[in-house]
């Protein structure tokens, strides 16, 4: 079984994903292709933290996750919580991956293109893909057990039949600095030129597309006020519009970009809903 952060970032990432899927399902879309850059094991347990160390960043970020688990036990209030509850034991563990949330929430035809560079995690995904109930549920599935940059390509995407595409990108952080200011050694980070890989992957595809790009750290001078326009400006040239924005805290942000589809009245709608959900947890 895999390990997950078990933090506010997980809540943000999957709450947003469930909201995307819910809105798309209302738009009479029948066959979804779900693509994911960092797929996680189907189920994971949170990394250990020392609860006695109240001031550590890891412990501070774990507390909202635990609070959300307890609130879900008392009374789930969102599609995300209902899906989480259905996929896990009563206490919300082990924690499901994006693929599992998509499996649970999307009720129509479904295909998946999952990328995972970690060998042991990829083996767990492959085992889940091999289950009879998985093969019966999915129209088609593909695991790319390597870097997402070589897995989420135009050839791979167009090889799938679908009516709509949701692609989730969740690097550790988005790094806006150029190659002369920041090395490219950490492949868990998304760099500006990686957005060209994303653009190329969806070039010429004429169907509704939703991109969810999340960043979980503002380290190395990557605050939201710099990261968001850096991503938006690059994607706008390929016809993508910023359609949703959720800030979990000063480090974590999830951005939703759309092409040929609309989900919410304004780009702020999603962030307001998330804030209201958190206030009730």
95-119 pLDDT tens trace: 999 999 999 999 999 999 999 999 9
DSSP SS3 for 184: coil
For the segment 22-42, the average pLDDT, to the nearest whole number, is 91
- Provide the H-helix boundaries in 79-162: 79-87, 98-105, 119-129, 132-137, 154-158
Beta bridge partners of residue 61, listed in sequence order: none
Residue 80 confidence (pLDDT) above 80: yes
- Name the CA radius of gyration of the chain, rounded: 18
**Cβ–Cβ under 8 Å, residues 212 and 169:** yes
Beta-carbon neighbour count of residue 216 at 10 Å? 24
Q: How far apart are CA 4 and CA 197, in angstroms?
A: 26
First to last CA, the chain: 27
Predicted confidence at residue 281, as pLDDT, reads 62
Beta carbons within 8 Å of 61's beta carbon, 6+ residues apart? 5, 7, 8, 9
For the segment 240-250, the average pLDDT, to the nearest whole number, is 94
Q: How far apart are CA 220 and CA 12, in angstroms?
A: 22
* DSSP letter, residue 135: H
Residue 53 confidence (pLDDT) above 80: no
Residue 187 confidence (pLDDT) above 80: yes
DSSP SS3 for 267: coil
For the segment 204-213, the average pLDDT, to the nearest whole number, is 97
Predicted confidence at residue 158, as pLDDT, reads 98
Predicted confidence at residue 76, as pLDDT, reads 84
For the segment 69-90, the average pLDDT, to the nearest whole number, is 90
Greatest mean pLDDT among 72-86, 137-151, 182-196 lies in 137-151
Both tokens assigned to 24: 């798309």
Beta bridge partners of residue 215, listed in sequence order: 253
Predicted confidence at residue 226, as pLDDT, reads 92
Question: Mean pLDDT across the chain, nearest whole number?
Answer: 93
User: Model confidence at 10, in pLDDT bands (50, 70, 90)?
Assistant: very high
Instruction: For the chain, give the longest Cα–Cα distance.
Output: 53
Between the alpha carbon of residue 168 and those of residues 16, 56, 75, the distances in Å are: 10, 29, 28
For the segment 197-219, the average pLDDT, to the nearest whole number, is 95
Nearest to 192 by CA among 207, 209, 215, 176: 176
Residue 56 confidence (pLDDT) above 80: no
Between the alpha carbon of residue 213 and those of residues 88, 195, 216, 227, the distances in Å are: 25, 10, 10, 11
| 194 prior amide bond cis, ω within 30 | no
* Selected residue with higher pLDDT from 7 and 201: 201
User: Model confidence at 74, in pLDDT bands (50, 70, 90)?
Assistant: confident
């Amino acid at each position: 079984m895999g390990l997950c952060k078990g933090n506010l970032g997980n809540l943000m990432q999957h709450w947003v994903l469930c909201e995307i899927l819910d809105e798309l399902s209302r738009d009479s879309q029948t066959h979804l292709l779900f693509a994911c850059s960092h797929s996680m094991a189907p189920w994971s347990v949170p990394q250990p933290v020392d609860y006695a160390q109240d001031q550590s960043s890891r412990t501070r970020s774990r507390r909202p996750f635990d609070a959300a688990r307890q609130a879900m036990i008392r009374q789930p209030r969102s599609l995300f919580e209902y899906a989480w509850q259905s996929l896990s034991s009563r206490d919300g563990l082990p924690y499901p991956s994006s693929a599992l949330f998509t499996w649970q929430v999307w009720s129509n035809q479904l295909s998946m293109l999952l990328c995972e560079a970690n060998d042991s995690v990829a083996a767990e995904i492959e085992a889940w893909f091999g289950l009879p109930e998985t093969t019966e549920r999915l129209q088609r599935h593909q695991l790319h057990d390597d870097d997402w940059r070589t897995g989420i390509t135009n050839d791979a995407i167009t090889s799938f039949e679908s009516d709509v595409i949701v692609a989730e990108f969740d690097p550790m952080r988005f790094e806006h600095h150029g190659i002369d200011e920041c090395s490219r050694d950490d492949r868990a980070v998304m760099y500006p030129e990686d957005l060209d890989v994303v653009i190329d992957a969806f070039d010429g595809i004429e169907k509704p597309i939703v991109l969810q790009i999340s960043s979980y750290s503002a380290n190395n001078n990557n605050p939201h006020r710099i990261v968001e326009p850096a991503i938006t400006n690059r994607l706008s040239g390929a016809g993508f519009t910023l359609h949703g924005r959720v800030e979990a805290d000063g480090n974590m942000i999830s951005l939703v970009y759309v092409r040929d589809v609309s989900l919410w009245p304004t780009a702020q709608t999603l962030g307001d809903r998330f804030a209201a959900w958190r206030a009730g947890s």
